[in-house]
Structure 1
Amino acid sequence: MHVKIFSEHLEELELLLNGIAMMKELTKRTQDYLVSFGECMSTRIFAAYLNKLGVKARQYDAFEIGFITTDDFTNADILEATYPAVAKRLNGDWLSDPAIAIVTGFLGKAQKSCAVTTLGRGGSDLTATTIGKALGLPEIQVWKDVDGVLTCDPNIYPKAEPVPFLTFDEAAELAYFGAQVLHPQSMRPAREGDIPVRVKNSYNPKAPGTLITKERDMSKAILTSIVLKRNVTMLDIVSTRMLGQYGFLAKVFSIFEDLGISVDVVATSEVSVSLTLDPSKLWSRELIQQASQELDHVVEELEKIAVVNLLQNRSIISLIGNVQQSSLILEKAFCVLRRLGVTVQMISQGASKVNISLVVNDTEADECVRALHEAFFETKLQRDYTNGNGYVAKSS
């Protein structure tokens, strides 16, 4: 029976590939349908394996059990109608014939066209949190290849440690500014349903992982994690108009909106604004030449209203921590950077109040992250009152 199901899928996949080859065209809609086969096949294989072991399991295609999405192929959004539909199907099946549900990740059905869609980056985690919210579960677990969310990228600094607790605000900032473990969009249903999310390691199941909740005890928290975002483009934009001219910022950001370019970090004064451009958005056009031309166009448009200084090869170091300790975080951070001889070219505190972002040169970024991690997580900075030389690092 299982062999027949798999052979039918393979035959359908072969027909699809032949059609693509014949038409010499691959639309986003067809692309979503194509990539869905891997997930549909793997979940069927896993469910069959569990049943062979004597663990009763039932396979589901997400697009057949109520995952209703927008028609934005390759990056669809889950619609509100999904939650009651999924709850009705999974609860109904469980009550009539209990079995472990094995559901395809990152897939859905478009509301208008009824075609298969994919949910973009973090789509499998989004599927899990959507099911968790739909069923009102007490906890959602996301299994990765690391021991939870870490204090920094272990590829930069091997002494990175797991963070035991996070808030959804902290997790969102970490993900947006470069942490690869979670995607901000995937946490949305859990946050809305106030359901804790636990990040675990498939290769180390005994590790406690990271528990993400709406709130946590911040009384002893200072810094949670350090995140690095590379290949950032920075713009210094100074108004050519007189001091106090209203509408300057509105004009600046309308230019970015018209060009469809996302801004990361912003620092402003009355007549100037410094900002960084999201590299994933700016360089999403596959050819570097096209991206470079687009950047030139941004500068050209901005120069109609301002003097523009373009600075490339920059990095954003984001310090995710306790807003109540922001003065201490900044004090320690700038002490470390001064010792390294690094000049911070821009600083911004996010509206979420859990993120302080510093812009430095790409070439200095790794050294900065290592030194900051050592200062915040392995040593404490104390004032050397004996010689008046400011702050020195001492082992805790």
Structure 2
Amino acid sequence: MSEGRPWLVQKYGGTSVGKFLPSIVEAITPSYLLTNRLAIVCSARSGKTKALGTTNLLLQAAAEAVTVSPGVSASGTPMSGSFSGSSFGASISSQLARSEVHACLFQSTVDAIQSDHLAAAQAAVPENKPLREQLERDIMEECDRLRDLLQAACILHEVSPRSRDMIMGIGERLSCRIVTASLQNKGIEADLITLDTVVDEIGEDIAALSASQVDDAGYLDQAFYDKLSHTLGEQIRACKGVAVVTGYFGNVPGSLLSQVGRGYTDLCAALCAVGVRAAELQIWKEVDGVFTADPRKVPTARLVPKITPEEAAELTYYGSEVIHPFTMEQAIKKLVPIRIKNVENPAGCGTVIFPETKNSVLEDPFVDGHVEQPEPPYSGANTPNGMPASLTPFAEPPCLPKLPTAVTIKDNVIVLNVHSNRKTISHGFFARIFGTLDRYGVVVDLISTSEVHVSLAMTAEIRPRTLQRLTAELEHVGAVSVLRSMAILSLVGKEMRHMVGVAGRMFSTLGEGNVNIEMISQGANEINISCVIHERAALKALNLIHYSILELSPKPTNMEGGSFGRSFF
């Protein structure tokens, strides 16, 4: 491939790899190779649903490896809490025997993972017997490595954070091996890049790296990710063919799951895009992009061709899974646009999260060593991917009236109300509330305050015991009440900063539709207006707001909109 072609980084989720691999290797990859060099980042594959995917099975196997009743021997006899010198060796032997008895708890799960990937290998490489047999050997070696890790955890009766990361990382290794072999089977040159040791390559001493590049909150600072993206870029550029990269990127200080969470594959793709100075980062899902509302709930929802990073962050926080803000920040700050694409509709334009540039950036084509966004790589009436040239990645959408960007619902929410029990308000009222939340690690989605009252909206997934202890402690500063089965309705749009009356229209529409509002909050950045409503009214409210504010057709008055809501629902 020509070295002069721009890089494109594509990230595929587990269900995309599991269900649409033929489309990826037969249609999507060849079409983009006409104009670009490609790096593909893969998540651990999922067969039918994410819940039954490889990552969940790996976490299940890790839990099964330590599911042993403490103090019970292999024969079920209680074990002594202390050992004499003569019985120490026998006790160790008993522990080893016990680990063998309980090994069956994870063996069946590993067998299921191995069988699933061997079947996928057969489907991916049906005719090339030598390539398929090599792939099957690689899969079995990875599963044997997994069994060794789990057996060690079973003996120690502990899965350390680092061990859990290594166990999860096997899912990406298995997935990428299948993708690499599938590309090679189609005659496409492909190179597998596993990143298990990449962190070791950017620092000789992990302890020193951790001490120097972890902030006060215990998280790795930006210098670490800058070094990592540079190293990833070097490894990818060294590939002759398509670079197939594991989303798991090694032994991160403090554990990858605790530092990043399960979205580390998206972050890896963003760091790869920055490292190779990609023309675009593509996140391939099973949806066409970002819509003005959930199309499964609002029939008239339409695709949004372009949104800002701020809007994407707000939509992610309030129920629409776009891309994690920290991951997005890594690419956007280096002027790498992010496109959400549909693996079932490769010709679709998707939604672009486009970097915002100031006039100074436009005047200078080089920013931080990165070239300003290039022109569309395609020419002619149609692109190699089948999309019209007028709808290429950086074509401006037609002029539309200024409207909010989207409305979204976040379900499964509770509201915690705290009313001060003091006649004279102490300056420590708010400090005690937020200090208590911090101690219990509770994340709050919305806050509404007055001099004597605080309302806090948060996910209902908080553990019941944690919620009980939290409310008991907050009762020392005021009366506490909990509202359950609530939902957050959020109207998001950058243009709302300059739109007069949009909040009035939003709340008038809800009022005319007989939707009761429990709590109201507006974001400090002025691009988000949110309210808390009862979960049973969420679908009705979502359609009312979309119809009255986000649709392009002429709208009736508020009263007519309310009548529409009552008659329609």
TM-score range relative to shorter protein? 0.7 to 0.9
**Deviation of residue 239 (structure 1)?**
1.9
**Structure number having the greater helix percentage:** 2
Aligned to 2:512: 339
- Counterpart pick for 1:101 among 231, 243, 262: 243
- Taking a change above 3 Å as real, the CA distance of residues 48 and 118 of structure 1, as seen in their structure-2 partners, is farther
Aligned to 1:80: 223
User: What's the CA shift string for 1:301-356, capped at 9, x where partnerless?
Assistant: 22211222221111111111133255432122122212221121111001232111
Aligned to 2:164: 31
Rounded Cα–Cα distance in structure 1 between residues aligned with 2:235 and 2:184? 20
- Taking a change above 3 Å as real, the CA distance of residues 77 and 104 of structure 1, as seen in their structure-2 partners, is farther
Indicate the SS of the match to 2:274. helix
Unaligned runs of 5+ in 2: 1-133, 203-208, 358-395, 565-569
**Deviation of residue 369 (structure 1)?**
0.8
Indicate the SS of the match to 2:290. coil
- CA RMSD, 1 decimal: 3.2
Structure 1 window deviating more from structure 2 (149-158 vs 227-236): it is 149-158
Rounded Cα–Cα distance in structure 2 between residues aligned with 1:81 and 1:94? 20
Indicate the SS of the match to 2:315. helix
Aligned to 1:46: 179
The one-letter code matched in structure 1 to 2:491 is L
- Counterpart pick for 1:257 among 433, 438, 448: 438
User: What's the CA shift string for 1:204-238, capped at 9, x where partnerless?
Assistant: 01111101023399994321111111121112222
Rounded Cα–Cα distance in structure 1 between residues aligned with 2:174 and 2:221? 22
The one-letter code matched in structure 2 to 1:345 is E
Indicate the SS of the match to 2:422. coil
Rounded Cα–Cα distance in structure 2 between residues aligned with 1:4 and 1:308? 60
Contact 1:382 1:392 in 2 (8 A): no
Structure 1 window deviating more from structure 2 (3-12 vs 332-341): it is 3-12
- Taking a change above 3 Å as real, the CA distance of residues 168 and 35 of structure 1, as seen in their structure-2 partners, is same
Rounded Cα–Cα distance in structure 1 between residues aligned with 2:236 and 2:533? 55
The one-letter code matched in structure 2 to 1:84 is K
- Counterpart pick for 1:292 among 448, 464, 473: 464
Contact 1:60 1:103 in 2 (8 A): yes
**Deviation of residue 203 (structure 1)?**
0.5
- Taking a change above 3 Å as real, the CA distance of residues 392 and 337 of structure 1, as seen in their structure-2 partners, is closer
Contact 2:199 2:252 in 1 (8 A): no
Indicate the SS of the match to 1:136. coil
Indicate the SS of the match to 1:266. strand
Aligned to 2:483: 311
Indicate the SS of the match to 1:62. coil
Q: How many residues align?
A: 377
Report whether the alignment pairs 1:272 with 2:272: no
Report whether the alignment pairs 1:179 with 2:352: no
**Deviation of residue 8 (structure 1)?**
2.6
Rounded Cα–Cα distance in structure 2 between residues aligned with 1:92 and 1:38? 21
Report whether the alignment pairs 1:127 with 2:268: yes
Rounded Cα–Cα distance in structure 1 between residues aligned with 2:314 and 2:342? 21
Report whether the alignment pairs 1:225 with 2:406: yes
Unaligned runs of 5+ in 1: 283-290
Indicate the SS of the match to 1:333. helix
Rounded Cα–Cα distance in structure 2 between residues aligned with 1:76 and 1:246? 31
The one-letter code matched in structure 2 to 1:63 is D
- Taking a change above 3 Å as real, the CA distance of residues 340 and 390 of structure 1, as seen in their structure-2 partners, is closer
Contact 1:198 1:210 in 2 (8 A): yes
- What does 1:174-253 align with in structure 2 at a 5 Å threshold? 174-215=315-356, 220-242=401-423, 245-253=426-434
**Deviation of residue 57 (structure 1)?**
1.4
Rounded Cα–Cα distance in structure 1 between residues aligned with 2:254 and 2:523? 37
Indicate the SS of the match to 2:171. helix
- Taking a change above 3 Å as real, the CA distance of residues 335 and 52 of structure 1, as seen in their structure-2 partners, is same
- Counterpart pick for 1:55 among 168, 174, 188: 188
TM-score by length of 2: 0.60
Rounded Cα–Cα distance in structure 2 between residues aligned with 1:116 and 1:266? 28
Structure 1 window deviating more from structure 2 (82-91 vs 361-370): it is 82-91
Rounded Cα–Cα distance in structure 2 between residues aligned with 1:76 and 1:247? 29
Contact 2:198 2:250 in 1 (8 A): no
Structure 1 window deviating more from structure 2 (85-94 vs 330-339): it is 85-94
**Deviation of residue 40 (structure 1)?**
0.4
Aligned to 1:288: none
Aligned to 2:287: 146
Rounded Cα–Cα distance in structure 1 between residues aligned with 2:268 and 2:497? 34
TM-score by length of 1: 0.84
Indicate the SS of the match to 1:381. coil
**Deviation of residue 38 (structure 1)?**
1.9
* Bigger Rg, structure 1 or 2: 2
**Deviation of residue 144 (structure 1)?**
0.7
Contact 1:63 1:116 in 2 (8 A): no
**Deviation of residue 170 (structure 1)?**
0.7
- Taking a change above 3 Å as real, the CA distance of residues 184 and 226 of structure 1, as seen in their structure-2 partners, is same
Contact 1:143 1:201 in 2 (8 A): yes
Rounded Cα–Cα distance in structure 2 between residues aligned with 1:277 and 1:135? 39
The one-letter code matched in structure 1 to 2:247 is G
Rounded Cα–Cα distance in structure 2 between residues aligned with 1:56 and 1:21? 41
Contact 1:139 1:197 in 2 (8 A): yes
User: What's the CA shift string for 1:124-161, capped at 9, x where partnerless?
Assistant: 21111111122222321111110011222233224332
Indicate the SS of the match to 1:211. strand
Rounded Cα–Cα distance in structure 2 between residues aligned with 1:93 and 1:126? 16
Indicate the SS of the match to 1:6. helix
> What is the percentage of aligned positions where both structures have the same residue?
30
**Deviation of residue 360 (structure 1)?**
0.5
Aligned to 2:130: none
Rounded Cα–Cα distance in structure 1 between residues aligned with 2:193 and 2:220? 20
